[in-house]
Chains A and B, each alone.
Chain A
Amino acid sequence: MSIKIGEIPYKERIQNGIKDDFMRQAVSSAQGRFRTGRLTQAAELGNWEDWRDLGEEIRTHTLENLDYYLHQLSEQVARRGGHVFFAETAEEANQYVKSIIQKKQAKKVVKAKSMVTEEIGLNKALEEVGAEVVESDLGEWILQLDEDPPSHIVTPALHKNKQQIRETFAKKKGYTGSDTPEELAAFAREQLRQDFLSADVGVTGCNFAIAESGSITLVTNEGNAEMVTSLPDTVITVMGMERIVPTWEEMEVLVSLLTRAAVGQKLTSYITAITGAGLELEVDSPEEFHLVIVDNGRSKILGTEFQSALHCIRCAACINACPVYRHIGGHAYNSIYPGPIGAVITPLLEGYDDHKELPYASTLCAACTEACPVKIPLHEHLIRHRQIIVEKEKGPTAEKLMMKGFAAWASNPAIYNMSAKMAKPALGPWTKDGMIENGPGPLKAWTEVRDFYAPQGQSFRSWFKQRQKDGESK
C-alpha cells in the first residue's frame, strides 16, 4: 500500500461514505466519546492551553533543529549496539528491511501498529520475499484479515462493528464464538499469542524517539508492542524522520498531550521503550536492533510554510473533532491519513494530482485547529493549499472569472452600490413569500438543498441614506 488507498473517484467515495449508515453511526458515537474524553481530561488538567503552548514549543524547537537531534539519536542508537539506516524513499526503506529479513531467513514477522509502515507499503514488500507478516494491534489485525485499509490513525477499524468482525474471524480463522467483544478479544489474543511466540522478527513504528538516549518509545493500550519488541530476537523500528524529541522530559509532556487528546486517557496502559540491542542490564532487549528513519517526502516540507504539519503527533484529535469526517468516514479521503491532518499532509507527501479535492473537503470551521494538542493551524494550511491549487490552475475557469468579478465588485463602491440596489428586483422573478426555492446561476447549487432568503427590502445603505436625509430635513 501507499498513502493513496485506491482508484475510486472522489464523488463516488463521498457517496459511499454517506450511504454507509452503520459506519456513520459508529463514527458519530466514537467521536462523541473521544471528544467528551478529551474535554474532560483537558478540564481536569486545568491549564490545558498552557500544555498546548508547551507542546507546540517542543515540536517547533525539535523540527527547527531536526538535523541535530537526528544525528544525536543515531549516535546514541549505535553506541548502544543498534544499527541506523536513513531511507530517503519508501523503496529504500523497504529494501533495507527486506535485506534483514532475508539475511535472517525469517519466515514470520510480527508487527505493532505503525502508520509509517502502511505509508511505505512494508507488508507487501515483505510478503514479496516470502515472509508471513502478522499485525498484532487488534484493529490492524482485523483489517489485515479483511484486506481493508485503515479509516482512522488511532483506531484503524473504527468503521467496523462487532458482527462484521465476528464474520471476518469466522471466515478467515474458523472462529465459532459469539460477537461479544470479550469473546472476540479473547480469541484474537489466543491466536496472536502463537504468532508472538513463533515470530523471527518484530517490526514496530515509533511514537517518540528520544535523542539523548537513543530510545524508541511506543504507546499502546493492548501491550502488543511489549510482545513484539521482547519475544523475537531481532527488532526493526521504522520511524518517520519527524517523530523525535530531545529528551525524556519532552517525551513525557508529549505523551500526556497525546493520550489525553487521542482518547481522553491520562496515560495509556503500556508505554514500551527499546534502547539499543544486547544490553546486559536490559533483560528484554533484543539481540539485534535496527532503526530505519524514513524521509519519504518529509524533508521537502521542512523550511516551507507547511513545516508545522510535521509537528503532528498522530493523536487523531482533529479527526475526532471533524464534522466532515463524521459524515463521510475515513475511506472517503482515499489516504491512509484521513481527516483534517490527512487533507493537509497527503497532498504534501504525494502531490496534488491525486488529492486535489482534499483541501476543499472542509468548511474551515477550525474545529481541528482548536483540538490539536500541538496547535497546528490545520485550517490555515488548507487555505494555503487552495491558494496553491488556484495558482497552478492554468487558463480561465468559471470560478476564476467569478472571483475576478468579486474583486472588481468588492474594490469598487460604485459597482457594489449598484448591485445592492439591483439585488431585490433582479431576484424578483424567483422570489415567493420572501424565499427562493429554485435559484438561478450560482444560487442553483444552494437551492437544490435549501431555500435562499430573498433580500428583505431595500439595502441597508439606501435606508441609511434616506434616514440621514430625513434627519437633516427635520
Chain B
Amino acid sequence: MKVSLFSTCLSDILFADVAKNTLEILERVGCEVDYPMEQTCCGQPAYNSGYLQEAKASMKQMMKAFRHSEYVVGPSGSCVSMLKEYPHIFKGDPEWEEEAKVFAAKCYEITEFLVDVMGITDLGSTFKGRVTFHSSCHMKRLLGVKEQPKILLRNVEGVELVDLPWEEDCCGFGGTFAVKNPVISQEMVSEKSRHVSETQAEYLVGADMGCLMNIGGRMEREGKKVKIIHITEILNTH
C-alpha cells in the first residue's frame, strides 16, 4: 500500500521522533511510504483564530503537496480532523471544492489507519510501564476516533493502561486560546495535571503532540515526574 506521511508541522519541527516512529510503523506493516516535501501546516492555527483567507492559503498548499497521494497518514487526530474539514471550508469554491473532497477522503490519523484500513490491532510491541491515555478533543469528537488507540495500546505487551478521570475534558490548550485566555487555560491544564497524578501513571500517552506539550509543559513546571509520550513511540517497539 502506498502511503504519504503527513508529519504535521509540530512534529516536523519540534518532535521529529514522532514523525520518525510513524514512518517506521507504516513501513513495518508493509506500506511504501513517501514524504512530500511541499507539505507545511494544516492551517488550523489561522482557521481557529478566524483568519479564513490565511488558513486557506495554507490549506491549498497542503492539497497541492498531496495531490498524487493515495493515502495521507499523520500522527495527530487534531491536524487530521482539520484536513477533513477542507470540503466544508472550500464549499462553493469552483476551483477547490472537488479537490478538497478527494483530499479529505484519503486522510487518516495513524491509529485509525492501522486499525480501520489495515485491520491491525496488535503490532507485537513491548513496552513496560503504567500508562494513562489522554484522548484529544478533536480526535475523538471531530474525527470520531475513540477506541482505535486504546485497542492498539492494550495489545502492547507490558503496558498497564489505567483510566484517566474526567478523560473527556479538554486540556485547555485550544491553540491561541492558551495565549488569549491564559488564566482559564492555566486552570484547565492544572486540573488535567491533577487528574494525571491521580492515576499514578509513569507515562501520559496521547495521539496529539499539541495536547501533550501543553499538559507535559505544565507538569514539568510543577516538577512532576510523569513523562509524556506519543503513542507511536510505544507502538514502534519490538
Contacts and interface: CB of A to CB of B under 8 A. Distances in A.
B58 A449 contact: no
B54 A363 contact: no
Interface residues of A, number: 64
A399 B11 CA distance: 24
A5 interface: no
B227 to A, nearest CB: 12
Contacts of A367: 137, 141, 168-170
**Size range of the interface on B?**
35 or more
B172 interface: yes
A367 B179 CA distance: 21
Contacts of B181: 14, 360-361
Contacts of B172: 323, 363
Contacts of B170: 323, 363, 365, 367
A327 B189 CA distance: 11
Given A360-B177, A413-B40, A450 B53 contact: no
Interface centre among B51, B53, B180, by most chain A C-beta atoms within 10 angstroms, is B51
Interface string A4-16: 0000000100110
Contacts of B184: 14, 18, 324, 327-328, 361
Contacts of A455: 13-14, 16
Interface in B184-200: 184-189, 191
A360 B180 contact: yes
B177 to A, nearest CB: 5
Interface stretch (B94-102, B106-114, B155-163, B217-225): B217-225
Given A14-B183, A407-B53, A449-B221, A460 B20 contact: yes
Interface in A371-422: 383, 385-390, 399-400, 403-404, 406-413, 416-417, 419-420
Contacts of B54: 403-404, 406-407
Contact of A451 (B41, B173, B178, B221): B221
Contacts of A416: 9, 40-41
Contacts of B39: 413
Nearest to A448: B182
Given A366-B142, A387-B52, A450-B220, A423 B14 contact: yes
B5 to A, nearest CB: 8
A471 B71 CA distance: 23
Interface in A408-463: 408-413, 416-417, 419-420, 423, 435, 437, 442, 445-446, 448-461, 463
B179 A446 contact: yes
Contact of B138 (A327, A366, A449, A464): A366
B237 interface: no
Given A410-B58, A451-B220, A456 B173 contact: no
Nearest to B218: A450
Contacts of B180: 360
Interface of A, helix, strand, loop or mixed by DSSP: helix
B214 interface: yes
A419 B57 contact: no
Nearest to B178: A446
A18 B183 contact: yes
B40 A410 contact: yes
Contacts, number: 192
B182 A449 contact: yes
Interface string B49-61: 1111111011011
B43 A410 contact: yes
B80 interface: no
A363 B137 contact: yes
B51 A464 contact: no
A465 to B, nearest CB: 8
B117 interface: no
A455 B172 CA distance: 22
B38 interface: yes
Interface in B59-101: 60-61, 65
B13 A407 contact: no
Contacts of A18: 183-184, 187
Contact of B35 (A370, A452, A461): A461
B213 interface: yes
Nearest to B14: A455
A423 B9 CA distance: 12
Contacts of A388: 50
B25 interface: no
A413 B36 CA distance: 11
Nearest to A327: B187
A453 B35 contact: no
The 4 closest A-B pairs by CB, nearest first: A363-B174, A386-B50, A410-B58, A450-B217
20 contacts: A323-B172, A366-B138, A366-B141, A390-B50, A406-B54, A410-B43, A410-B61, A413-B65, A442-B179, A446-B217, A449-B218, A450-B217, A451-B216, A451-B217, A453-B15, A453-B213, A456-B17, A457-B16, A461-B7, A465-B37
